[in-house]
Amino acid sequence: MEQLIGIDYAYATFQRYQTSLQRTENFLKWKFKVPDVHLADLNYQFISDFEFYLKTVCSCGHNSTMKYLSNFKKIVLICVKNDWLHKDPFFAYRMPKIGVDRVALSAEELLTIIKKKFITERLRLVRDIFVFSCYTGLAYVDVQKLRRSEIIIGIDGGQWLQIKRQKTESRSSIPLLPEAITILNKYENHPQCASTSRLLPVLSNQKMNAYLKEIADVCGIEKNIMFHLARHTFATTVTLSNGVPIESVSKMLGHRDLRTTQLYAKVIDSKISEGMKRLKDSLTDKLGQSTAM
């Protein structure tokens, strides 16, 4: 996998499997007091104990635990396909994920952050990059590696971003909204951008998230603002809530499956309200026509 980074796998995927391997090795020492066991020892009970270990000793959440087990399962299936294991120990083992609410900034909260006057340059910088992501839907890793060559002239004659998302390696074409263009122009001559051909002078993810917490406090926003919240905000507050078709939003987000985008659509109460209002109006009209007859 390490040798196929950039060909079949992203570096982040390789890192996740490294972590999964470390968790597995630690589990063996915790459960069996040995550094390794034979493949034949893998069974349903082994996986159950591994799940218990991840949730209790490692304090992993349910979905994180399922991701570790999923990585482990992929390796186990290689063993099954090569006849190193005659039975899949994951057979009949359920690994359901719990649905997670996609929290996003409201239009009012986003406007508060945009209009806030920050004294320090670092908070202004982090705010601008975060807002840029709110208007493009890009994840941190994609914003961090953005280059000038990825700005193209789109079908409408305006500026678009055309990138290959690192997580899914899928192509995303995103028309740039005026707010995003303003931010790009602001940092066009920034030393860090000029020397690297990057579009924005992005700090480390750890620093960005730390400063975003500070920004939330200053703006009086009680939500736990992390950089990934910008992507949720783009999907819900900026696009879906303003009538952009879900198919278009899915394409801009780089989702391979529309069902992934539909998770965002579930949290838009305004859409439910609008739909029910149209239904009430329709029923009222029909009732009025019936009464008139």
Q: pLDDT (tens digit, 9 = 90+) per residue, 177-209?
A: 999 999 999 998 888 887 788 899 999 989 999
Same domain? 124 vs 194 = yes
Determine, yes or no, domain membership for 90: no
Determine, yes or no, domain membership for 285: no
Instruction: Check residue 116 and give its pLDDT.
Output: 94
Same domain? 52 vs 128 = no
Q: What is the pTM of this model?
A: 0.69
Determine, yes or no, domain membership for 102: no
Determine, yes or no, domain membership for 215: yes
Q: Which amino acid is at 143?
A: V
Q: Do the Cβ atoms of 177 and 131 come closer than 8 Å?
A: no
Tell me how far apart the alpha carbons of residues 81 and 228 are, in angstroms, rounded to a whole number: 37
What is the chain's Cα-based Rg?
Answer: 24
Domain assignment of residue 215, given as a range: 107-270
Same domain? 133 vs 212 = yes
SS3 161: strand
CATH number of the CATH domain containing 239: 1.10.443.10
Determine, yes or no, domain membership for 277: no
Same domain? 77 vs 129 = no
Same domain? 132 vs 223 = yes
Burial of residue 72, with CB atoms counted within 10 A of its CB: 0-12 exposed, 13-18 middle, 19 or more buried: buried
217 token code pair: 């406090």
SS3 268: coil
Give the total number of structural domains in the chain.
2
Instruction: Check residue 180 and give its pLDDT.
Output: 94
Same domain? 237 vs 123 = yes
Tell me how far apart the alpha carbons of residues 168 and 246 are, in angstroms, rounded to a whole number: 19
Same domain? 47 vs 118 = no
Q: How would you list the strands of the sheet with 159-164, edge to edge?
A: 151-153, 159-164, 171-175
Determine, yes or no, domain membership for 149: yes
The total number of residues shown for the chain amounts to 293
Where the chain has pLDDT below 50, the residues are none
Instruction: Check residue 110 and give its pLDDT.
Output: 95
Same domain? 188 vs 64 = no
Same domain? 140 vs 240 = yes
Same domain? 141 vs 56 = no
Any alpha helices (H) in the chain, and if so which ranges? 11-31, 44-56, 62-81, 107-115, 121-134, 140-144, 178-186, 191-196, 205-219, 229-233, 246-253, 258-265, 269-292
